[in-house]
Structure 1
Amino acid sequence: MTTPITRFRTLLARTVAVGRGVLLACGTLAVLAPAALAETAYPARPVTLVVPGPPGGITDQLGRLVAARMTSDYGVRVIVDNRPGAGGNLATELVARAQPDGYTVLLGTQGTMASNQFLYKALRFDPAKDFVAAQGLVSIPNLLVVNGKLPYQSVSDLVAYAKGHPGKLAVSSAGNGTGSHLAAELFQTLAGVKFVHIPYKGSAPSINDLLAGQVDLTFDYPVSTLAQVQAGKLRALAVTGATRLPALPHVPTIAEAGYPGAESTSWVGLFFPARTSAAVVAKWQVDVTGLLRDPAAVEAIQRMGGVPLPLSGTAFSGFVQAERTKWKATIERAGATID
């Protein structure tokens, strides 16, 4: 028969044994903790930055600018993976299906994240649900340019003629559904004019025919048009962004020309697969914001005809959603479609 003293001694022994077990477990965790932290440190291996365009283009140049900086900062390679095709949809679908571990990042564009969903009938991803809009990078306006031999000296001159001669002016674009096409459609709606749209397979043939007088005007990137404007072969009537270009300080913005609602830019930002760790996304946001403050990076962006777009988190996702709303309305009014 056990006595109270015997029961007390048994309980004390068990307590001491449990305590020893806890101490042993804590010691084991202390040994394992550094290894566990090392395994979870990010990034611990190369990161793939998927670019929805071919090598050499503006999107590719931006991707390589980011990759070089992040490789230097992180001490692991950030590899640019060019995936052109289907207006950027091939690259976007690839990232949408990737593991949300932070090792696959998309360089998303105005097309892939805002307008393509309204131009293509059957996308196999949802830009809003399948991605985290992490960080804005660059905003690139178009220049509204006309052949230098034409008499139009201002946007008001162009609109006055177009209203008096509907369907007589031909506007070229880099292709159906491209930023240059959508900028033209938005402007026509707000200005109350109608151009004949001539789509090309890229900016180069579009600009060549504009120089040859086969078409009358276009909306295209400064990098595609600036040299011809400076040579007097094309005349810039407006910049479709919010500010004037330093290279063309005399050319007004489209808002200054009387059409504030016609502002349009081709922008680029970073997007992660949905459910990517908030800590990983935040790390990229901080580091890329630092890049956009670097004078050398800003100079490189300006040479492309762009300006930094330092929007992060909810500010950037709100911007993207506003772009979707704008381009959905524009595309529906124009009846534009790709497939």
Structure 2
Amino acid sequence: MTPRTPLIPTLAARASAGVRALLLTCGALALAAPAALAVNAYPSRPVTLVVPGPPGGITDQLGRLVAASDHGVRVVVDNRPGAGGNLATELVARAEPDGYTVLMGTQGTMASNQFLYKSLRFDPARDFVAAHGLVSIPNLLVVNGKLPYQSVRELVAYAKGHPGKLTVSSAGNGTGSHLAGELFQTLAGVKFVHVPYKGSAPSINDLLAGQVDLTFDYPASTLTQVQAGKLRALAVTGASRLPALPQVPTIAEAGYPGAESTSWIGLFFPARTPAPVVAKWQAAVTRVLKDPAAVEAIHRMGGVPLALSGDAFGDFVRAERTKWKTTIERAGATLD
């Protein structure tokens, strides 16, 4: 005869299991309570906004615009230039995910650098939360004003008939101006000789002097010279024409829709930052990008507001990674 299991011990065991579960739950709640209170009290001290560039640059200007906006958060801008923005990005990737360290992420730091540098100590996809877009800045395809090309098609026709004859300058290997040029060459089926410089200023100076033939660079770097007639703008690489140059077609209107490219900037938090904290910033940035004064400032930078938040911004960043991975692999570009 099989012995019967005593009823009282079974109930006791079940009670013990229930008590243990209750204690574990209470413990978890006790640990979660301070975190919840911290989120509700956020921000209780200044937030550090890390900018991967020097003072005065477009990323810095935009960061200070965000910092100065009336959104109830005291923001301290921390400029960390170097290594294509990787130093700043690694700093934020390793920061405490409490909402008090935020990154001004760029096309480079969040989309293309991981394919240019082989030894990054952070993973843009794994280590960050894409919170909100801020600005999208197209490049201008410009040539020296003394050259005869009046359109993109004329430029391409000459380049196809004279492979390797035209020189294209950039602000440096792996920069937005370099990658925009590589993308265009791939789509147009032409080959320019790339001449990298250490920044936009020397690149534009040599273009004005006739030492190089063309470049893809920000309107902030080229617009004044275009308006003076010293450079000729053939196309805008963004999706829409620039208000300052309404006569200049987009690259798609010029016949190369796949060559659209922009440099963009957005806010990123360390992974595991509490969702309510990120949501507070998303709401704040949405308000900033609806402020006419902020929009006017962005237009003066040659950009347009990048009003994408949450999942929509995350999808945009992932698509950018795919595009620039392909472009960089085709170009064989590397910075290590």
1:15 equivalent in structure 2 = none
Query: What is the CA–CA distance in structure 2 between the aligned matches of 1:251 and 1:140, rounded to whole Å?
Result: 16
CA contact under 8 A between 2:177 and 2:216: conserved in structure 1?
yes
2:100 is aligned with 1:103: yes
Q: Structure 2: which amino acid aligns with 1:126?
A: D
Secondary structure of 1:105's match?
strand
Give 1:278's aligned amino acid: A
2:253 to 240, 251, 256: 256
**Which residue number in structure 2 is paired with residue 272 of structure 1?**
269
2:190 to 193, 214, 221: 193
CA apart distance, 1:58: 0.3
Distance in structure 2 (CA, Å) of the matches to 1:185 and 1:168: 16
> What residue is the counterpart of 1:177 in the other structure?
174
Q: Secondary structure at the match of 2:169?
A: strand
The sequence identity of aligned pairs, in percent, is 87
The structural deviation recorded for 1:37 is 4.7
Mapped pair 1:140 → 2:125: no
Q: 1:197 to 1:98 in 2, by over 3 A?
A: same
Match of 2:334 among 319, 334, 337: 337
**Secondary structure at 1:210's aligned position in 2?**
helix
Identify the range of structure 1 (236-245 vs 40-49) with the bigger mean alpha-carbon deviation: 40-49
- The residue correspondences of 1:1-339 to structure 2 (distance < 5 A) are 37=37, 40-69=40-69, 72-74=70-72, 76-339=73-336
Distance 1:319 1:40 in 2: 30
Question: What CA distance in whole angstroms lies between the structure 2 residues aligned with 1:37 and 1:66?
Answer: 26
Give, as a single letter, the amino acid of the residue that structure 2 aligns with 1:125: F
How far is 1:159 from its partner? 0.2
Measured against aligned partners, the alpha-carbon deviations of 1:152-181 in whole angstroms (never above 9, x if no partner) come to 000000000000000000000000000000
- Deviation of 1:264 (Å): 0.3
Per-residue CA deviation, residues 198-253 of structure 1 (Å, 9 max, x unaligned), is 00000000000000000000000000000000000000000000000000000000
Cα distance in 2 between the residues matched to 1:208 and 1:216 = 12
The one-letter code matched in structure 2 to 1:197 is H
Aligned residue number for residue 9 of structure 2: none
Structure showing greater Rg: 1
Aligned length: 304
RMSD of aligned residue pairs (Cα, Å): 1.5
Q: Secondary structure at the match of 1:326?
A: helix
Please give the secondary structure, in 2, of the residue aligned with 1:108: strand
1:309 and 1:142 map into 2 onto residues whose CA distance is 15
The alpha-carbon deviation at position 77 of structure 1 amounts to 2.1
1:38 Cα shift?
Answer: 7.8
Structure 1 residues 40 and 161 mapped into 2: Cα distance closer, same or farther (>3 Å)? same
The amino acid that maps onto 1:97 is R
Partner AA of 2:67 in structure 1: A
Gaps of 5+ in 1: 1-32
* Aligned equivalents of 2:144, 2:323: Cα separation in 1: 29
Deviation at 1:73, TM superposition (A): 2.3
SS at match of 1:282: helix
CA distance in structure 2 between the partners assigned to 1:262 and 1:247 by the alignment: 21
SS, match of residue 106 in structure 1: strand
TM-score (norm 1): 0.88
Letter in 1 for 2:56: G
- State the shift of 1:39 in Å: 8.3
d(CA) in 2 for partners of 1:210, 1:38? 54
**Quick one: which amino acid aligns to residue 302 of structure 1?**
H
Structure 2 gaps of 5+ residues are 1-32
Q: Which amino acid aligns with 1:104?
A: T
Whether contact under 8 Å (2:39, 2:274) holds in the other structure is no
Q: In the superposition, relative to structure 1, how do residues 193 and 51 fare at CA in structure 2: closer, same or farther (>3 Å)?
A: same
CA distance in 2 between counterparts of 1:261 and 1:203 reads 24
Q: Distance in 2 between matches of 1:67 and 1:277?
A: 21
| Separation (CA, whole Å) in 2 of partners of 1:84 and 1:221 | 19
